[in-house]
Homo-oligomer: A and B are copies of this chain.
Amino acid sequence: MISTAEILKRAKAAASGTALKAEEKNRALGLMADSLIKHTADILTANGEDMRSARGKISEVMLDRLRLDEKRVLAMADGIRAVAELPDPVGRVLDEIRRENGLLIKKVSVPLGVVAIIYESRPNVTSDAAALCFKSGNVCVLRSGKEAFLSARTVVSALKEGLSAAGINEDYINLVEDTTRQSAAELMTANGYVDLLIPRGGKGLISACVQNATVPCIETGTGICHIYVDKSADIEMAVNIVDNAKTSRPSVCNAAEVCLVHRRIADSFLPELARRLAGRAELRGDSGVCAVIDAVPAGKDDFDTEFLDYIMAVKIVDSEEEAVRHIAEHSTHHSDCIITEDKSAADYFTAAVDSAAVYVNASTRFTDGGEFGLGCEMGISTQKLHARGPMGLCELNTYKYIISGNGQIR
Cβ-defined partner of A362 (8 Å) among B19, B103, B365: B103
A-B contacts, 12 of them at CB < 8 A, read A16-B328, A18-B351, A99-B371, A113-B384, A195-B385, A234-B407, A237-B406, A240-B409, A241-B409, A355-B400, A358-B403, A359-B404
Please indicate the chain B residues that have their CB under 8 angstroms from the CB of A112 in the complex.
Answer: 384-385
Residue in B closest to A17 when the chains form the complex, CB atoms = B352
Known: A405-B359, A405-B361, A408-B363. A388 touches B384 (CB 8 A): no
The quantity of this chain's copies bound in the complex is 2
* A interface residues, how many (CB within 8 angstroms): 68
Instruction: Please measure, in the bound complex, the distance between the C-alpha atom of A408 and the C-alpha atom of B359, giving whole angstroms.
Output: 11
Interface mask (A343-373 → B, CB under 8 Å = 1, otherwise 0): 0001010111011111111110111000111
Please indicate the chain B residues that have their CB under 8 angstroms from the CB of A105 in the complex.
Answer: 372-373
Please indicate the chain B residues that have their CB under 8 angstroms from the CB of A366 in the complex.
Answer: 103, 403, 408, 410
**Closest 8 CB pairs between A and B?**
A362-B405, A244-B409, A384-B398, A386-B386, A365-B410, A216-B385, A362-B408, A237-B407
Q: Which residues 234-259 of A sit at the B interface, judged by CB distance below 8 A?
A: 234, 237, 240-241, 243-245, 248
Interface, chain A (partner B; CB < 8 A): 16-19, 97, 99, 103, 105, 110, 112-113, 191, 195-196, 210-211, 214, 216, 218, 234, 237, 240-241, 243-245, 248, 328, 346, 348, 350-352, 354-363, 365-367, 371-373, 383-386, 388-389, 398-410
Cβ-defined partner of A402 (8 Å) among B210, B211, B350, B371: B350
CB of B384 within 8 A of CB of A196, answer yes
